[in-house]
Structure 1
């Protein structure tokens, strides 16, 4: 593992631990207050929260448009064959990022077995039932949050100048999971950062092969179009 990847991994891991530990004591009160927000706010969050399920009927068209935009940006000087290769690698980047995130989330959910907020009255906020094989005991980490963390994290690596917008989008979906009563805040923090970590780690892997990304002078993966051509 190269030093920048190790450093990035440690930073994201440290941020995850700090956020989760800081939020856990406030999970019950924040969850109850979020669910008690005005009806219009709750309704709005119910409408946007299912974006985290990656429903193809809802998001597929937008994804194709954004993907086409990125292909044009990162392969502006390539031939038709080169553009096709770039499109395949973009698809592979998203597939690996989201797929790896999904596998990790389901593993952690199964091992930890945290009861969801809807069981708060019976079990409280800190009930753990490992290997319950029941969705009611799969609150930590949030799958929706991890999915959008991976999805928007991948876009933020590919289009750095729009990174704040992508991160805000991921945060909005994550917060919605608390407002609709599906997760506690610490579940969301862990999910978002897990997805982001996977997007970053996959970008490092691609940069080693010089697929889509190359390392800059500091060893950080950037889209190849943003870096000067390599000298022979």
Structure 2
């Protein structure tokens, strides 16, 4: 029996490898083709104005609150510290990157040709969503690590030793990796993704993500200006990723004069009932038509 199973397993592994490689190559060709035929038409976002405002806000926060935060480090009540310690872990990139990668791996191993039209649309939307999260959170995470170690600002934990503005560029030491905050950058990217996909619920997304980002101050890992700078950096990467996705026709319609707008076909949950199936099938046909380069 084992002699029969080994060739079968080998054939299954080869088939899975070919399917995975085929899906990857198909996706690569689609992206390349759309970049080639779709013009770089992006909304006229005043990036310089927004970046200047973000930097001025970080500087203003730094001048007014950073010293106070350094002096108050360790002065919070134990219960409050435990609460912020619990919340701050949700600012780790792994909470968002690992599920996104697993979703992409599952989609890569899926035999799309055997899916129904509605199921294919659902898997397609989840794949695009996971890739958007991966781009926004992952790329902003790489950028913030380059910046924080390049700038080398001492953390509030060492306020008594180094003060509020002690810079050690490229020290490659975690003690001097305060500006910008990596956790806050992650939460800024998460907020940006939610803002693009669910613009009507932006205030809820902002409150939750800003709350988690602010915990870095209370646990003594960052100054307030570190979190403001990181949050803005993550948000900028998410918006930029959304603009590129809109150009490619993934999730969003072609860029308008304001911001990327999700397509009517973008849904992460399947509709129930025959009416829902009919509607989903119609949206699937619209998606396939709209996604042609």
**TM class, shorter-length:** 0.7 to 0.9
1:18 aligned onto 2:22: no
Gaps of 5+ in 1: 65-77
- 4+ runs deviating over 6 angstroms: 229-232
Cα deviation for residue 40 of structure 1 reads: 2.5
Aligned alpha-carbon RMSD (Å): 2.8
Residue of structure 1 in register with 2:139 after alignment: 100
Residue-by-residue CA offset, 1:102-132 (whole Å, 9 max, x unaligned)? 1110110121000111111111110000111
Structure 2 CA distance for aligned equivalents of residues 95 and 172 of structure 1:
22
Checking the alignment, whether the CA contact within 8 Å between 1:5 and 1:204 is kept in structure 2 is no
Matches within 5 A, 1:23-172: 23-26=61-64, 27-33=66-72, 35-56=74-95, 79-172=118-211
Residue-by-residue CA offset, 1:136-189 (whole Å, 9 max, x unaligned)? 000000000001111222122111111111111111012110011000011000
Cα deviation for residue 41 of structure 1 reads: 2.1
Residue of structure 2 in register with 1:225 after alignment: 264
Cα deviation for residue 10 of structure 1 reads: 2.7
Q: Secondary structure at the match of 1:222?
A: coil
1:202 aligned onto 2:241: yes
Higher relative contact order (CA 8 A, sep 6+): 1
Residue of structure 1 in register with 2:14 after alignment: none
Cα deviation for residue 34 of structure 1 reads: 6.2
Residue of structure 2 in register with 1:69 after alignment: none
Gaps of 5+ in 2: 1-39, 104-116, 267-285
